[in-house]
Every structure is written in structure tokens, then in C-alpha cells.
């Protein structure tokens, strides 16, 4: 196992400088900090043996790593986490990985070195050794929003497959047979895989063939969605409806359709994901899948606090929340009144799975 001296030698600095960087006891230049953290990562350096530090003392602080600070979805989730943490006497350290696996790993190291009592993580992608080791050592960790295949850890997720199914089923029920999908981050986020599965199941249940040309990656951004919709509009025959699989991509899709000189919903129906405050302001008002974002944050924090406070190994738990389709004007549905109506309630439905126990701390 690498030592503090090994890291200092690799970074070309003193051992005291390494100590200040990993423990946050003194401010150093950003260039120097990055060099030390890169050396620590290269050598797989683990300051203070994460689990051991938790056994010895508590900091009354939780760490939260989200994958995209620019996405308003995470703002509501963070609000829920923060409220639950403060009500229980805990502070919160927020980090943004920006969909970068290296940044995620760096923040995992920094937060563990600061001896946070537990961590909440929206993972960037698949399992990596640092994450697996933290789970093996019994570090209190809860995933939210996204899953990590093969990692036996507690988590709070949305039933993404069902939510996407509801959105696309709504369009097939309106008579659409050519439905395009703007998907998210390919091959990394479990949410993307699950929402594509829901899209496909809705087509299958409606007896509609799948056309691979009608799934275009929007990379979870408005700019990416605009490019994806441009691709979809070039397909012959053109889709009559589009399902955008997150909030930023819904905005990008609407922009691209309007830029093409087409009207929503007259020429193309549009259903989005992640209901947000602007959905009522856009014209037409947006039909979207609403996630219980604040509740998701609170439930995740409560689950982590249970792990932190437990004196014994706890079984792995998965809590699955339900989405809610809110029908407005952009899908072209005939509304009975000016108020939006909801389909497929209730918002919340839990499914708890008992798994292998976490190692004792």
C-alpha cells in the first residue's frame, strides 16, 4: 500500500504538502493540489483507511456527489438531502463530478480523507475499484438516481422503465406510430438504459415495429438534444412524435423543432422527462414525466443516516419511487380543462430488496 512519502516523491513535493492537500489543513495552489491528487490516484493512496476513521470518530458531516450541477433536477434532490441532513444535525459537503469518472474518483478520495460520516453518490458510470473497495470496507454509501451494475450497495432510484413506458404509451394511445426518442448518456448511465427499455416496451405493447433510426443520443444536454432532433427529422418517414428523456433535452428538442419551422403539437407531439417549473411557462405547455425529486433526496439522506448510526451490519436496501405523467398541451392530447391532468398515480411506490449485509464498521 502506498504511503504519504510515496505520494510526495511522485508529486515532487514535501510530505507536509501532501498532508495539507489530502486533509485540507492548508490552502495550496490549484496546480499543486491537482498534482498531489493525481499522484495519490496513480499510487492508489488511501489516507486514514476510510473505514477505520469512521470507527474512531464522527464528523457529523455527509458528502454528496452529483453528476451534473447544471441540471435543475439535481437542485431539487440536493434540497431534499440538505433538509434531512440539517434536521438530524449533519452538515453537507456538495461536489459536482460533471459526468467525469476521474473527478468522481478524486472527490471520493477527498471526502473520505475529510472523514465524512457517509456518502451519497449519483455515479457517472460503471463500477471502479475505488468504489468497490469502499463498499467492501463498509463505508456508509448510498447511490441515488443511477445504479452501478454488480455493486451490492443501497440505493434510491426512480422506476425509469415504467416512467418512460407511461410517456410513450401516452403517445401510442393518441395514435402515433412513428415515435422518436432522444436518449441520454450512452453506455454509462443506468437511467438511460432503463428509459430506452420503457420506450421499447411501449412500442411492443402497441404492436409497433422498432426503427433503430428513431433513437438518437442527446447526451443529456439541450445542445445534444437539438442535434439529435435534427437527425430524427431527417428520417423518412419523419416521426410524428418525440420523447425526450430528460429536462434539458426536452428544451433542446423543442428548440430544434421550432427551428425547423415545425409546430408542437400540430406537426410533432412532444413528451419530456423531469417536470420543472418552466414546463407551465413554455408555449405550448409541456407534457412531462414528473420525478419526486425532493422526496428522492430526503429518502436517500434518511437511508444513509440509518447506515451511519447503525452499530451493526445492515442489509442492502433498494427503494424505488414512481414517476407521474403530467399531460399538458405539447403531446396534443385533448384536455378536459385548462388544468393539467395526471396519469398513472400515485407518485410514490416503494420496492425494498433485501441483499447481502454490508461489512461491519
As a whole number of angstroms, the distance between CA 265 and CA 271 comes to 10
What's the pLDDT at 20? 74
CA distances from 280 to 109, 239, 286, 299, 327 (A): 41, 25, 7, 27, 11
Q: Please tell me whether residues 312 and 228 are part of one structural domain.
A: no
Backbone phi, psi, residue 64, to 5°:
-135, 120
Q: Please tell me whether residues 229 and 84 are part of one structural domain.
A: no
Domain count, the chain: 2
Q: Per DSSP, which regions of 97-134 are E strands?
A: 118-121
* Residue-number span of the structural domain to which 79 is assigned: 58-158+291-322+347-361
Lowest mean pLDDT among 245-259, 271-285, 308-322, 328-342: 328-342
pLDDT tens digits for 166-223?
A: 999 999 999 999 999 999 987 667 899 999 999 999 999 999 999 999 999 999 999 9
As a whole number of angstroms, the distance between CA 96 and CA 68 comes to 6
What's the pLDDT at 63? 96
pLDDT tens digits for 282-327?
A: 789 999 999 999 999 999 999 999 999 887 777 889 999 999 999 9
In a domain, 112, yes or no: yes
What CATH number is associated with residue 249?
3.40.50.2300
Amino acid at each position: 500500500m502506498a504511503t504519504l512519502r510515496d505520494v510526495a516523491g511522485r508529486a515532487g513535493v514535501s510530505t507536509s504538502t501532501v498532508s495539507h492537500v489530502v486533509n485540507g489543513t492548508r490552502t495550496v495552489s490549484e496546480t499543486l493540489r491537482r498534482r498531489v491528487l493525481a499522484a495519490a490516484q496513480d499510487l492508489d493512496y488511501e489516507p486514514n483507511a476510510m473505514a477505520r476513521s469512521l470507527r474512531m470518530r464522527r464528523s457529523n458531516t455527509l458528502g454528496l456527489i452529483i453528476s451534473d450541477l447544471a441540471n435543475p433536477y439535481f437542485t431539487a434532490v440536493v434540497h431534499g438531502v440538505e433538509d434531512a441532513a440539517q434536521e438530524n444535525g449533519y452538515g453537507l459537503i456538495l461536489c459536482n463530478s460533471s459526468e467525469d469518472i476521474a473527478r468522481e474518483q478524486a472527490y471520493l478520495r477527498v471526502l473520505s480523507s475529510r472523514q465524512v460520516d457517509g456518502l451519497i453518490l449519483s455515479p457517472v458510470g460503471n463500477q471502479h475499484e475505488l468504489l468497490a473497495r469502499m463498499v467492501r470496507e463498509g463505508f456508509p454509501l448510498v447511490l441515488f438516481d443511477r445504479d452501478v451494475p454488480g455493486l451490492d450497495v443501497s440505493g434510491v432510484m426512480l422506476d425509469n422503465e415504467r416512467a418512460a413506458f407511461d410517456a410513450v404509451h401516452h403517445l401510442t394511445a393518441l395514435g402515433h406510430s412513428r415515435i422518436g426518442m432522444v436518449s441520454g448518456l450512452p453506455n454509462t448511465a443506468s437511467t438511460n438504459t432503463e428509459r430506452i427499455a420503457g420506450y421499447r416496451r411501449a412500442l411492443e405493447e402497441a404492436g409497433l415495429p422498432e426503427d433503430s433510426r428513431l433513437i438518437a443520443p442527446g447526451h443529456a444536454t439541450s445542445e445534444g438534444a437539438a442535434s439529435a432532433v435534427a437527425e430524427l427529422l431527417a428520417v423518412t418517414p419523419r416521426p410524428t412524435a418525440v420523447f425526450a428523456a430528460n429536462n434539458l433535452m426536452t428544451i433542446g428538442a423543442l428548440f430544434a423543432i421550432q427551428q425547423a419551422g415545425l409546430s408542437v403539437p400540430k406537426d410533432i407531439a412532444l413528451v419530456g422527462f423531469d417536470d420543472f417549473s418552466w414546463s407551465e411557462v413554455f408555449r405550448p405547455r409541456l407534457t412531462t414525466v414528473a420525478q419526486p425529486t425532493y422526496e428522492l433526496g430526503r429518502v436517500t439522506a434518511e437511508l444513509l443516516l440509518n447506515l451511519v448510526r447503525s452499530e451493526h451490519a445492515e442489509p442492502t436496501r433498494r427503494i424505488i419511487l414512481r414517476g407521474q405523467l403530467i399531460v399538458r398541451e405539447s403531446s396534443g392530447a385533448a384536455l378536459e380543462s385548462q388544468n393539467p391532468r395526471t396519469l398513472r398515480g400515485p407518485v410514490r411506490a416503494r420496492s425494498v430488496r433485501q441483499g447481502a449485509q454490508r461489512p461491519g464498521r
